[in-house]
Chains A and B, each alone.
Chain A
Amino acid sequence: MSNQHQYEVVIVGGGGAGLMAALYASRGAKTAVLSKLYPTRSHTGAAQGGIGAALGNQEEDNTGWHTFDTVKGSDYLGDQDAIEFMCQEAIPVVYELEHMGLPFSRAADGRIAQRRFGGHTNNDTKQPVLRSCYAADRTGHMILQTLYQQCIKNEVTFYDEFQVLDLLVVNGSSAGVVAVELATGELHTFHAKSVIFATGGHGRVWEVTSNAYAYTGDGVAITLRKGIPAEDMEFFQFHPTGIFKLGILITEGVRGEGGVLLNNDGERFMERYAPTVKDLASRDVVSRSMYLEVRDGRGINGKNYMNLDVRPETVNKYAESDGRVLPDGTPYRVTGDDILEKLPDIIDFCRTYLGVDPLEQMMPVQPTAHYAMGGIPTNMAGEVLVDDKNTVMPGLYAAGEVACVSVHGANRLGTNSLLDLVVFGKQAGLRAAEFAQGSDFVSLPGDAESYTHQQIDQFMNGSGKEETADLAKEMKSIMMEHVGVFRTEEGMTQAREKIAELKERFKDVGLEDKGKVFNTEMLDAWELGCLLDVAEVTAVSAVARKESRGAHAREDFPKRDDDNWMKHTLAWMRDGKVDLGYKPVSVTKFEPQERVY
């Protein structure tokens, strides 16, 4: 073992959660961040529309409303104590980001500007509320840049382009990680008192996704292989508005600014599905409505997409019929310049990839795999939980999309992901440093790198009968068809069997590239292994849940079933198969009600 490192805290992942954790952990402990990308290339940077906080800058709002909206949005599967904590922390943490220098867009009075977003309401009037704090339509980019800048200021140690391949667990405690340095192919062992996983999501399981190539479920797969369960994996969010075929995200902020979804008849169909908030219903509701419109023959030109219309004349027409007014009581009206100022990037995306100018034409959109509500089980402190009794694994933490606290339950509200990653990234960083201060290093076994060598050798010596790209295509296709927006017993069973078959065939993947320097072919293969594990756990968890809740919508069980299913799924990978268990949802203030928007 040539490359040995010792840090009190090691953070895996350099996105928003990892960097926030790094800022806090590094204040109290010797800390390093390992990231498979340069941190500023993390997927946090693709988030567009905003971060939710009830600042009430432009109209009345409060954390109680934010909490209830999030509980309701989660279809009552979110843990209410954690949700309340997050919504309360939202206000100070948004101010903290501003103090760090984040260039929020501003209202006329100089305060942080806020916009409407799906599912966020004034609980008295039931109407959409201005809660999303934004920086044009590149809020995630600004959060990622700002946190990285602060890490430079605070001299945080980074290992850029280091891919973590294994978590070291000794006597039930986390003891470090093994990583490959992409530039050299050398293995490095990082001995640590605390390890924080902040590796992001796994949208690459599906064919149409808004997610980056790097979003391959590494954290969930690595921990599953170490006997740690994954929670609520059947709940994966399909964002309603991805660019047709490409899946590139078009922010919900488009509808927040007054854009509407139209079917082939030119009808604003969300009026039928969500009469009160219409296009600003939560994402699961809108995606399902779009699916039903297509199924009933109202897709645009007979195809499986809808039009998203943010042309000023359309926005103004519906603002008038809705009676939408500004906080000062004047009618809400927009110009092309207003739209361009608030949504510059999505206009650029449409011009680049579609040759469509959203100020003059409609955008073709379809639901796109977007966000993992499920992940590594944690509590509010970011500590990883290994069973249905919420037993903590000493020294192991997770935060951000890879974690399941659970604050999103069965469906996440827009703007709550950026909020989640700063709030719980901070908690995990604080707790990991605190734990490191009060504990000793666990001794590493002599063969710490053996499992990593085994993984690499499997690819290097693989027969090559199978191609990574072919297996990936088959996985994405079957998961899109059968474990997507709408699900059936038969379809999910088929997907489960197919994934099991693909996992067998995966053993015959080989490599043309036998080198060590930037062997991205090996990395692709390893990432596919993660995706297959994650896909299998997703399909098995999904087929077992015989109800519809949030993002898990079944044609054969169309209703939510609180008597039997108001519980979190836990899935373990044991001896080549998936075992399921369940644990209760934390309910503090809000008894489940029927969910209407």
Chain B
Amino acid sequence: MQVTLRIFRYNPEIGRTKPTFDSYNLEVEPTDRILDLMEEVKAYHDGTLSFRRSCAHGVCGSDAMRINGSNKLACKVLVQDVSSPITLEPLLGLRVIKDLIVDMEPFMESYRSILPYMVNDDIPEDGKERLQSPEERARFDDTTKCILCAACTTSCPSFWSNGEYVGPAAIVNAHRFIFDSRDKAASERLEILNQRKGVWACRTAFNCTEACPREIHVTQAIAEVKRAVFSGSLE
């Protein structure tokens, strides 16, 4: 079948400072990934097209972008899932460096700000594992799936209007530790997320949940963190 791929182009290095779209008509299979089409364009139509990608099956998070206006991973969307013309644009709310590549640093900085690591230096005397029941483990399972692709944060209207907001992905990662029965720094994280840049910036738009390629219930996780901040309890 034939489709048209419209790709956002921007490259100040060669004076291409006004964002434009380039269109490519391609002969494709309905089961091709959008990423396959981008590779085709880069290989045979325009070698200067730039984008990030690695695993090509939705687990590394490199190729998050807007596909027909929605945040998706290009390797997880098939041609048959979208209508032509297929429009590809960089994530919103982060500085575009070139074509579909955005500056990830502010996103990573927000992630680092919520203490995204286990805090608990006590280990059992026998040196073995700390015990955790399957129920305790299930409590935070959903938020362990995050691959830091930024699809959620860059779909969030609150993030667009307030770049200081840590955003859904950082809160998801805080949730992963706050509700882990082994961790001891929940109160520090809740304090961080009680600040202006924290959870109260969330207006429950639900965009994040729709955007997550890992199907994490992001809005629910944020609500659980809000409740914990408000009540001071993890129950």
* Residues of chain A at the chain B interface (Cβ within 8 Å): 37-38, 40-43, 45-46, 92, 94-95, 98-101, 103-112, 135-136, 138, 141-142, 145-146, 149-150, 152-153, 183, 212-214, 246, 248, 345, 348-349, 352-353, 467-469, 511-513, 515-521, 524
Q: Are B98 and A99 in contact (CB under 8 A)?
A: no
B46-57 vs A, Cβ < 8 Å mask (1 yes, 0 no): 111011011111
How far apart are the CA atoms of A248 and B180 in the complex, in Å? 31
**CB of B145 closer than 8 Å to a CB of A:** yes
| B112 contact set on A, CB distance < 8 A | 152
Q: Are A41 and B55 in contact (CB under 8 A)?
A: yes
Chain B residues lying within 8 Å of A109, measured Cβ to Cβ, are: 131
Q: Given the complex, which residues of A lie within 8 Å of B97, measured CB to CB?
A: 183, 517-518
8 Å CB contact of A515 from B14, B39, B177? B14
Contact of B60 among A41, A95, A98, A183 (CB under 8 A): A41
Check A349–B58 contact: CB distance below 8 A.
yes
By beta carbon, the residue of chain A nearest B33 is A353
**Which residue of the partner chain, among A108, A183, A511, contacts B134 with CB atoms under 8 Å?**
A108
B25 at the interface (CB under 8 A from A): no
Known: A104-B129, A512-B48, A513-B47. A518 touches B117 (CB 8 A): no
Counting CB contacts under 8 A, is B62 at the interface?
A: yes
- Chain B residues near A519 (CB, 8 Å)? 50
Name B116's contact: one of A100, A152, A516 (CB within 8 Å): A152
- A103-B140, A103-B144 given; A518·B57 CB < 8 A: no
Q: Which residue of B lies closest to A523 (CB)?
A: B50
Say how far A7's CB is from chain B's closest CB, in angstroms. 21
Give which listed residue, A149, A212, A353, A467, contacts B55 with CB less than 8 A.
A212
In the bound complex, do residue A101 and residue B132 qualify as a contact, i.e. CB atoms below 8 Å apart?
Answer: no
* A92 / chain B contacts, CB cutoff of 8 Å: 127
Shortest CB-to-CB span from B223 to chain A, Å, is 21
Q: Chain A residues with Cβ under 8 A from B78's Cβ?
A: 352-353
Residues on A with C-beta less than 8 A from B183 are 101
User: 4 closest A-B pairs (Cβ-Cβ)?
Assistant: A101-B118, A110-B131, A469-B43, A512-B47
Given A149-B116, A150-B117, list of 11 further CB < 8 A pairs?
A: A43-B55, A45-B147, A101-B183, A106-B136, A152-B117, A212-B54, A246-B57, A352-B78, A469-B43, A511-B47, A521-B47
- What are the residues of chain B within 8 A of A103 when measuring CB–CB? 137, 140-141, 144, 176, 180
- 16 A-B pairs with CB atoms under 8 Å apart are A37-B54, A38-B62, A43-B55, A99-B123, A101-B180, A101-B183, A103-B137, A109-B131, A141-B145, A150-B117, A212-B55, A248-B57, A349-B58, A467-B43, A517-B11, A520-B50
Of A110, A141, A183, A353, which is within 8 A of B132 by CB?
Answer: A110
Bound-complex Cα distance A92 to B50 (A) = 44
Interface size class of B (residues with CB under 8 A): 35 or more
Closest to A98 in B: B129
Cβ contact within 8 Å between A37 and B117: no
- Asked if B133 CB lies within 8 Å of chain A CBs, one says yes
Q: Which residue on chain A has the smallest CB distance to residue B80? A: A355
Contacts of B50 in A (CB 8 A): 513, 518-521
Task: Give the distance in Å from the alpha carbon of A468 to the alpha carbon of B116 in the complex.
Answer: 40
Across the interface, which residues of A come within 8 angstroms of B44, CB to CB? 467, 469
Contacting B117 at CB < 8 Å: which of A41, A46, A153, A468?
A153
Q: With contacts A152-B116, A213-B54 known, is A345 near B46, CB below 8 A?
A: no
Contact of A45 with B59 at beta-carbon distance under 8 Å, contacts A111-B129, A513-B47, A518-B98 already known: yes
> CB within 8 Å of A: which of B52-111?
53-62, 76, 78, 97-99, 101, 104, 108
Cα-based distance from A146 to B226 in the complex (angstroms): 25
Query: Are B101 and A106 in contact, CB atoms less than 8 angstroms apart?
Result: no
In Å, the complex CA distance between A38 and B52 comes to: 10
Smallest Cβ-Cβ distance to B62: which chain A residue: A41
Q: List, in ascending order, chain B residues with CB within 8 A of A149's CB.
A: 116-118
Known contacts A141-B147, A467-B44; A37/B60 CB under 8 A: yes
Q: B43 contacts which of A135, A138, A468 (Cβ < 8 Å)?
A: A468
Residue pair A43, B54 in contact (C-beta under 8 Å): yes
Closest chain-B Cβ to A586's Cβ sits at a distance in Å of 29
Whether B18 is near chain A, meaning CB under 8 Å from some CB there, is no
B 131-166 contacts with A by CB, 8 A:
131-134, 136-137, 140-141, 144-145, 147-148
From B111, which residue of chain A is reached at the shortest CB distance? A152
